[in-house]
Amino acid sequence: MVVAEIKPFVEIKEMLKNFKKVLIVGCGTCMAVCLSGGKKQVELLATALRAAKRTEDDDEILIGERTVGRQCEPRFVEQLKDEASQYEAILSMGCGAGVQEIVERLRPMLVLPAMNTKFIGASDSEGVFAEMCAACGDCILSLTGGICPLARCPKGLLNGPCGGTKNGRCEVSSDIPCAWVMIYERMKELGKLDDLKKAVKAKDWSKTQRPGVYKAHGEEQAK
Amino acid sequence: MSISAMPPCQAACPIHTDVRGYVSAIARGDIQSAIKIIRQVNPFPSVCGRICTRVCESACRRGQVDEPVAIGALKRFAADEARSAEKKVRFSGPYYNEKIAVVGSGPSGLTAAHDLALLGYKVTVFEAQHELGGMLSRGIPEYRLPKSVVKDDIDYILSMGIEAKTGAVLGRDFSVDDLLKDYQAVFLALGSERSLYPKCKGVELPGIITAVEFLKQISQGQRPYLGENIVVIGGGHTAIDAARTCIRLGSKNVTIVYRRTMKEMPAGKEEVEQAESEGVKFEFLTAPIEFLGRGRVEGVRCVKMQLDEIKGSKRGSLVRIEGSEFDIKADAVILAIGYEPRTDAIRDIELISGKSGKIVVKDESGLTNIKGVFAGGDVVSGPMSVVQAIAWGKRAADSIHRYLRNLPPKEIEEPVVVRPLDERIVTLVVKAVRQKMPALSVEERIRSFEEVNLGFAREQAVREAQRCLNCGSGAVVSEDCVACFNCVLVCPYGVPVAGEERAKIDISQCQACGICAAECPASAIDVKLESREESRRKLKEALDNAMREAPEKFAIEFYCQYHEAGRSREEKAGTYGVGKPCMARIDVYQLLKPFESGSTGVQINKCEHHDCRFMGCEDWILKHVERAKKILRDIGIDDEKLKIVREECE
């Protein structure tokens, strides 16, 4: 899933300072799962914004609350159309893709991001999510025992650890386990340590040329 | 598992009383709601609160953890509390034209009359005796069931506009055919009180009396002294009642002779213990073979019995032990070995009778072979418990209504019942001691017919009710589940599991702490024990009141409704309270919401216990408060305005 965190409250408040009617839109897929922008977070942010407005002795602010199944899905976003037209701006609690999908579908509505999109990751423990994939477009997990050094090593090293690894932890932060130690242990477990002697070729970054487009039916659609 | 599984107590009860409903109302201190819930199905709350056989308690899952909830005692508490305050129902007259005759005014007959009156029929009850109530009024001594209590329940029933004719004997004063001329339906609830006699030599000797006759004399105010040495034959409630009555009348040696063991006794363990403490002796595995005496009974020759286990049989077979004969001295003998219906009066009509005088009915609907004539209660089943008689009355009322209105027969759906607690969960439930009902001392008891059990005080009742595990009112996952499985991670009991598409929470194992609901990012989990809607409504009400009465300066106070239920909450000006079933149920939203309305502060009153009702609730309260405080700081509100205040708790 895509993992995102909510922006600092002051930043959100600043973005919204000139608006009297704002619709907060949550996302019921990745953003709900990573506990950042689901229905409950929408309700909480709305309450916090109303309470903040009150302390400023400002005019009333009208905040709407709505959560859609998936903001990156045009057919979900289009369902927002009527409701959205009653507001001056939308504050999206979706990932970057969600924000842009709303922009695209609900023109000329102003759409603002409430989230900072972080990475593609997975649930680690209660309320903790870890980055797992760098979306490089050229997967090498078959060579590294299913552990991605690109996403999980701060330096993205492809051929073994750097000199900064210590007791299985990274020199960048002792909170980070060294990806290459994990890869080594995993290959040992698989009885494939010898495979690590083969060099991994330098990354072909042309495969992640932006903007990325993916055609599920290949040439058929290209024609 | 269905999401609407029935608690085992309710499933076990013959009339499916919403036990969880009224027990949890008492736990909140809401006694008025409790009695309303009981009255929905039971017109004899005061009676059942005292003498019900309480199959609900045997089914109670709290019994897996320590001891079952004292459900019977709680029913009595609710009924007693309400008796002083309860107003009689104002009856607006019958709705239908049909008239119904009920013959017999025991629990079965009066329940049918009550339900039929509620359905809108004009009901007349015919009672052979001069007092209503059947065995309730003349079969159970006052130390166990005071007459005033029976009268209160009956008065309430009669207040529905039911006519009662006492001293009207079926077969002497009127016949079933007579009734069918004036009434469109007849319910025969004749009971079963003809005593059986043991087939022993000397049973005709003077000084041998049936328990029914003896207890009837007592109920009429007579106080016959039967002598110093009394032998009671039998093992049911009536045997114990007769024995304990003799003690009260001054007999020194009272012995109950029962052919099986204490385990098989129809009387409850509690009753046996009370009888023993009052001085009643028990001879188990003993049967009478001859009553001795010249011109009057002087003793009972007994023989010891042996219980041979038979495969597939619960009770086993009884065999005499040869040569074990012995004599017990007796100035009088009371027989309480069994009863059968007295139906001689209707034997000549075409009503099908079964063996031992029972009336044969088609099924539980009580339909007899005569059109418009229904029968139920002990006259059909033989002697059973009060609540079973009530159940017969209810079914009969329903059948009669369907018969008169041409409605299809009732479809009986087997309820899905909450399963027993898993062993793992049993070890995680916080233990709580069952409250003991205060009772008269043995010395006080044996001197009078005063009621032995004194009933719970309010504080005791509330505390006892709080032991209820609220079976089946836990978390339910809706279609909004986004399968984040956060519930799996946060549940202190490890109940939620990841399903193929969404989280699954076994309603039989969920303890209804509500932590998963507070932590669900999609608001997809709701807890039946205070739903989200109810919880939001309570907060909104408090805020609305505050903004109306003290818009300039008010504070919100969350308090534990269990902690507060036993006492009255202190009212503080400008402070508005919101009760919660568990303080971990206050999510971050509820902590912030009052500030949106301009609250000057939010306070959580929390006892000192770490795990009061639920495991780990304290940790979650602290987490929620910390998260809310962070948001308050972000907003620019002093986070000291949100605080936890510790309260003393016993």
Residues of B with CB under 8 A from a CB of A: 480, 482-486, 489-490, 520-523, 587-589, 592-593, 595-596, 598, 631, 634-637
Residues of B in contact with A35 (CB under 8 A): 484, 486, 521
User: What's residue B615's pLDDT?
Assistant: 81
A108 upstream amide cis, omega within 30 of 0:
yes
Out of A10, A38, A52, the one facing B521 most closely (by C-beta) is A38
Out of B484, B489, B589, the one facing A44 most closely (by C-beta) is B589
CB contact under 8 A, B482 and A51: no
CB contact under 8 A, A44 and B631: yes
pLDDT above 80: residue A18: yes
Q: What is the mean pLDDT of chain A?
A: 93
Strands B497-498 and B575-580: unpaired
Stated length of chain A: 223
ipTM: 0.88
Q: Which residue of B has its CA nearest to A61?
A: B596
CB contact under 8 A, A39 and B521: yes
Residues of B in contact with A28 (CB under 8 A): 480, 482, 522
What residues are paired with B231 via a beta bridge? B255, B333
Q: How far apart are CA A70 and CA A83, in angstroms?
A: 17
Q: Let me know: does B112 contact B189? Beta carbons within 8 Å.
A: yes
Per-residue pLDDT averaged across A106-121, rounded? 97
CB contact under 8 A, B588 and A51: no
3-state secondary structure string across B480-518: CCCCCCHHHHHCCCCCCEECCCCEECCCCCCCCCCHHHH
CB contact under 8 A, B589 and A123: no
Out of A32, A44, A48, the one facing B522 most closely (by C-beta) is A32
Q: Which residue of A has its CA nearest to B631?
A: A48
Q: Where are the beta strands (DSSP E) in B316-416?
A: 317-320, 326-329, 332-335, 339-340, 373-375
Per-residue pLDDT averaged across A197-220, rounded? 85
pLDDT above 90: residue A56: no
Out of A10, A51, A67, the one facing B592 most closely (by C-beta) is A51
CB contact under 8 A, B522 and A55: no
Residues of B in contact with A61 (CB under 8 A): none
Closest of B17, B161, B163, B164 to residue B89, by C-alpha: B161
Q: How far apart are CA B380 and CA B367, in angstroms?
A: 11
Residues of A in contact with B635 (CB under 8 A): 9, 48, 51-52, 55
User: What's residue B566's pLDDT?
Assistant: 61
Q: Of all residues in chain B, what percent are helix, strand and coil, respectively (each to 5)? A: 35, 20, 45
User: What's residue B2's pLDDT?
Assistant: 41
CB contact under 8 A, A47 and B592: yes
CA neighbours closer than 13 Å in the CB half-sphere of residue B403: 24
CB contact under 8 A, B522 and A40: yes
Cβ-in-10-Å burial (0-12, 13-18, 19+) of B72 comes to buried
Q: Let me know: does B562 contact B465? Beta carbons within 8 Å.
A: no
Q: Which residue of B has its CA nearest to A49?
A: B635
CB contact under 8 A, A10 and B634: yes
Interface test with A, best of B593, B635, B641 (most A CBs within 10 A): B635
CB contact under 8 A, B489 and A44: no
> For residue A64, what are its two tokens?
């709407």
Q: Which residue of B has its CA nearest to A56?
A: B636
Q: How does DSSP assign B326-350, residue by residue? A: EEEE-SEEEE-S-EE---GGGTTSS
Out of A8, A29, A48, the one facing B482 most closely (by C-beta) is A29
Torsion-angle region of residue B530: left (phi > 0), alpha (psi -120 to 50) or beta?
Answer: left
Q: Which residue of A has its CA nearest to B523?
A: A40
For chains A and B, count residue pairs whose Cβ atoms are closer than 8 Å: 72
User: What's residue B350's pLDDT?
Assistant: 63
Out of A35, A50, A52, the one facing B521 most closely (by C-beta) is A35
Compute CA B470 distance to the chain's CA centroid, rounded to the nearest angstrom. Answer: 16
Residues of A in contact with B589 (CB under 8 A): 40, 43-44, 47
Containing A6, the helix (H) or strand (E) segment is strand A2-6
Q: How far apart are CA B257 and CA B282, in angstroms?
A: 6
Work out the minimum CA distance from B631 to partner chain A, whole angstroms.
7
Q: How far apart are CA B394 and CA B113, in angstroms?
A: 9
User: What's residue B157's pLDDT?
Assistant: 93
pLDDT, tens digit, 9 for 90 and up, residues A22-43: 999 999 999 999 999 999 999 9
User: What's residue B86's pLDDT?
Assistant: 58
Interface test with B, best of A2, A10, A36, A40 (most B CBs within 10 A): A40
> For residue B70, what are its two tokens?
């004292």
User: What's residue A58's pLDDT?
Assistant: 62
CB contact under 8 A, A123 and B485: yes
**Segments in chain B below pLDDT 70:** 1-3, 84-91, 310-315, 347-355, 566-569, 649-650
Q: How far apart are CA A52 and CA A59, in angstroms?
A: 11
> For residue B42, what are its two tokens?
């039971």
Closest of B390, B386, B468 to residue B430, by C-alpha: B468
CB contact under 8 A, B589 and A43: yes
CB contact under 8 A, B637 and A9: no
Residues of A with CB under 8 A from a CB of B: 8-10, 28-29, 32-35, 38-41, 43-44, 47-48, 50-52, 54-55, 67, 123, 125-127
Residues of A in contact with B480 (CB under 8 A): 28, 39
Residues of B in contact with A43 (CB under 8 A): 523, 589
Q: How far apart are CA B314 and CA A115, in angstroms?
A: 68
User: What's residue B265's pLDDT?
Assistant: 83
Work out the minimum CA distance from B21 to partner chain A, whole angstroms.
30
CA neighbours closer than 13 Å in the CB half-sphere of residue B306: 7
Closest of B597, B596, B563, B600 to residue B580, by C-alpha: B563
Out of A43, A51, A126, the one facing B489 most closely (by C-beta) is A126
b/e string for B549-588 if b means 16 or more Cβ within 10 A? eeeeebbbbbbbbbbbbbeeeeeeeebbbbbbbbbbbbbb
Work out the minimum CA distance from B642 to partner chain A, whole angstroms.
14
Q: How far apart are CA B546 and CA B557, in angstroms?
A: 11
pLDDT, tens digit, 9 for 90 and up, residues B356-402: 778 888 888 888 888 899 999 998 888 899 999 999 999 999 999 99
Per-residue pLDDT averaged across A166-177, rounded? 95
